[in-house]
Amino acid sequence: MRSTKYYVRKTHRYLGVFIGIQFLLWTVGGLYFAWTNIQEIRGNHLVHKDDILIIKNKMKSPDEVLKMNQIAPASVKEIKLTSLFFESYYFVEQADNMMLINSETGEKRAPISEEEARKIAFKKLKKDIPIKKIEYVTAENIDQHFQYRGGMLPAWAVELDDDSNTVLYICALRGTLEKVRTKQWRIFDYLWMLHIMDYNERDNINNTILRGFSVLGLMTILSGFVLFFQSSKTIKRLFFKKKSV
pLDDT tens by residue, 124-177: 999 899 999 999 999 999 989 999 998 999 999 999 999 999 999 999 999 999
Contacts of residue 38, Cβ cutoff 8 Å, sequence gap at least 6: none
- Please give the pLDDT value at position 1: 58
pLDDT at 229 over 90: no
72-81, 136-145, 214-223: least confidently modelled range = 214-223
Are the beta carbons of 118 and 157 closer than 8 angstroms?
A: no
Q: With cut-offs at 50, 70 and 90, classify the pLDDT of residue 116.
A: very high
Looking at per-residue pLDDT, the higher value among 149 and 52 belongs to: 149
Q: What angle do CA 192, 148, 48 make, to 5 degrees?
A: 95
Q: Is the dihedral of CA 193, 196, 200, 204 positive or negative?
A: negative
- 3-state DSSP assignment of residue 41: helix
Burial (CB count within 10 angstroms: exposed 0-12, middle 13-18, buried 19+), residue 49: exposed
Are the beta carbons of 66 and 73 closer than 8 angstroms?
A: yes
Q: What's the start-to-end Cα distance of the chain, in Å?
A: 29
Of 241, 232, 96, 100, which Cα lies nearest the Cα of 176? 100
pLDDT at 243 over 80: no
pLDDT at 3 over 50: yes
Global pTM reads 0.80
* CA 108/CA 113 separation, integer angstroms: 15
pLDDT at 245 over 50: no
* CA 153/CA 131 separation, integer angstroms: 21
By 3-state DSSP, what share of the chain in percent is helix, strand and coil, each rounded to 5? 45, 20, 35
* CA 176/CA 98 separation, integer angstroms: 13
14-18, 74-78, 84-88, 121-125: least confidently modelled range = 14-18
